[in-house]
Amino acid sequence: MGSVSDTIYALSTGSLPSGIAVIRISGDRAGSIALALSGSLPPERVAKYAILKNSDGRELDRGLVLYFAGRASVTGEDLVELHLHGGRAVVASVMTAIATHPGLRVAEPGEFTRRAFLNGKIDLAAAEGIADLIEAETEAQRRFALANASGQQGKIYGQWRDLLIEARALIEAELDFADEDDIPGSVSDQVWTRVERLKTLIAHQLAGVHRAEIARLGFEIVILGAPNVGKSSLLNALIKRDAAIVSPEAGTTRDLIEVSLDLDGQKIIITDTAGIRETDGIVEQIGIERAKRKAEEADLILYLAPANAQAERYAASDLKHRTIGTMADLYPETGQHFDFHVSSETGEGIDTLLTAIGQIARDAGISHHEILPSRERHVLALRNAHSYLLASLDPIIPLELRAEELRLAAMELGDIIGTTRVDDLLDVIFSRFCIGK
């Protein structure tokens, strides 16, 4: 990691060629570079059309120059944006011209965002939200990431942390004045009522972790059933393209085939599995075991049988699943016992099934405006904070120790938003960004 006092620059837009390309320069020297390239520094926050030249006076490109001074910029330090024509040679020539200035270097992945965090423009959870926003592919991912990127997680966890810091201060004040008659003991009662309420809120966060995972990572569906019941055909019908092997031979789909799709803005991951049946074949048995394990982790199981068979429930019937009667074109009369009656051949019932899956996935995900943990490290911190609060509420232990539990819980919440800065953690978080962000 280079020094935070360096002025950094990078191409912040995507691969070239492109319509336009934006180079960002952040740090003390940003203004003087813009001046050197364009002949004058534009007024702050005003786009100025300029001819960019190198130090020999040779014209490189014509485009927009923007200047954001210090605190008003996204990184919290002087920032310049050069909006260029998005050609490879154009960008290369401007990058070369910038590089000739001393005290500058190319930014590392995520370094602009890292500086925004270090300069107090955003908290750490918001930085992670920005990373998610850039990677978001579905509407649900975008919505969740945007709420986090705009600081909503940080706001909640920050408020809870402040509440605990205040609670601890009140308890310690009570301890300090314990011998004096004029301090009523009821302060303590109020504090513990608040701590109890906070513990419940944190428990609610922890209970929502899986729903947040569904929004971020996708809703997992596993297709199960005996060989030849039409599993691969159904997968193909669902995704409307040939992603799985459709074969009339029993037991050919031994491995798991995973496909993800965007269903009504929700990421859905569908896994086609080996047919489940009694068998002596070791390879096939491995596939069956793998399918069963996958089914245990799934959010929904589609359990298939031809529509002329019984609509049996999957053995582990406490798992969320739906029975699907397949080959409705061959067996049009006998599908009533199944939750769904479909034909992959004619497409009958497929849209109904997709609509139902979309609804189940939406119900399992997060609702609008809901703020939930979006990283494993948030979950761990919340879990620890919850245990500390639980310990603090034990009236048997001395008040000093109970106050100490509050301090530890506050620290855990602070870790989520990055109040204690651990460089290793920052390296992990920001190295996952792309260059230029």
Of 216 and 322, the one with the shorter C-beta distance to ligand GDP is 322
Of 130 and 328, the one with the shorter C-beta distance to ligand GDP is 328
Of 248 and 395, the one with the shorter C-beta distance to ligand GDP is 248
Of the candidate residues 115, 143, 199, 231, the single one contacting ligand GDP (CB under 6 A): 231
Of 243 and 425, the one with the shorter C-beta distance to ligand GDP is 243
Task: Name residues contacting ligand GDP, limited to 92-121 (CB under 6 A).
Answer: none
Of 11 and 302, the one with the shorter C-beta distance to ligand GDP is 302
227 belongs to the binding site for ligand GDP (CB under 6 A):
yes
3-state SS of the chain is: CCCCCCEEEEECCCCCCEEEEEEEEECCCHHHHHHHHHCCCCCCCCCEEEEEECCCCCEEEEEEEEEECHHHCCCCCCEEEEEEEECHHHHHHHHHHHHCCCCEEECCCCHHHHHHHHCCCCCHHHHHHHHHHHHCCCHHHHHHHHHHHCCHHHHHHHHHHHHHHHHHHHHHHHHHCCCCCCCCCHHHHHHHHHHHHHHHHHHHHHHCHHHHHHHHHCEEEEEEECCCCCHHHHHHHHHCCCCCCCCCCCCCCCCCEEEEEEECCEEEEEEECCCCCCCCCHHHHHHHHHHHHHHHHCCEEEEEEECCCCCCCCCCCCCCEEEEEECCCCCCCCCCCCCEECCCCCCCCHHHHHHHHHHHHHHHCCCCCCCCCCCHHHHHHHHHHHHHHHHHCCCCCCHHHHHHHHHHHHHHHHHHHCCCCCHHHHHHHHHCCCCCC
Going by DSSP bridges, is the β-strand pair 104-106/219-225 parallel, antiparallel, or unpaired?
unpaired
Of the candidate residues 164, 229, 302, 379, the single one contacting ligand GDP (CB under 6 A): 229
Of the candidate residues 230, 349, 365, 436, the single one contacting ligand GDP (CB under 6 A): 230
- What is each CA distance from 340 to 238, 346, 351, in whole angstroms? 14, 15, 11
User: Interacting stretch for ligand GDP, rule CB under 6 A, among 26-34, 200-208, 229-237, 400-408?
Assistant: 229-237
Of 136 and 224, the one with the shorter C-beta distance to ligand GDP is 224
Of the candidate residues 27, 129, 275, 418, the single one contacting ligand GDP (CB under 6 A): 275
Q: How far is the CB of 272 from ligand GDP (least distance, A)?
A: 7
Task: Name residues contacting ligand GDP, limited to 320-379 (CB under 6 A).
Answer: 326-327, 329-330, 343-345
User: Interacting stretch for ligand GDP, rule CB under 6 A, among 224-232, 290-298, 313-321, 333-341?
Assistant: 224-232
Q: How far is the CB of 255 from ligand GDP (least distance, A)?
A: 12
Of 274 and 416, the one with the shorter C-beta distance to ligand GDP is 274
User: Interacting stretch for ligand GDP, rule CB under 6 A, among 117-125, 159-167, 242-250, 386-394?
Assistant: 242-250
Of the candidate residues 185, 248, 395, 398, the single one contacting ligand GDP (CB under 6 A): 248
Sign of CA dihedral 168, 173, 176, 180: negative
Of 254 and 377, the one with the shorter C-beta distance to ligand GDP is 254
Q: How far is the CB of 321 from ligand GDP (least distance, A)?
A: 16
Of 188 and 228, the one with the shorter C-beta distance to ligand GDP is 228
Of 19 and 248, the one with the shorter C-beta distance to ligand GDP is 248
Q: How far is the CB of 82 from ligand GDP (least distance, A)?
A: 55
Going by DSSP bridges, is the β-strand pair 48-53/104-106 parallel, antiparallel, or unpaired?
unpaired
Q: How far is the CB of 350 from ligand GDP (least distance, A)?
A: 9
Residue 2 to residue 4: CA distance in whole angstroms: 7
Q: Can you tell me which residue has the tokens 């996708």? A: 218
User: Interacting stretch for ligand GDP, rule CB under 6 A, among 155-163, 187-195, 220-228, 367-375?
Assistant: 220-228
232 belongs to the binding site for ligand GDP (CB under 6 A):
yes
228 belongs to the binding site for ligand GDP (CB under 6 A):
yes
Q: How far is the CB of 252 from ligand GDP (least distance, A)?
A: 7
Q: How far is the CB of 328 from ligand GDP (least distance, A)?
A: 6
CA proximity to 218, closest of 155, 266, 257: 266
| Binding-site ranges for ligand GDP (CB under 6 A) | 225, 227-233, 246-248, 253, 275, 326-327, 329-330, 343-345
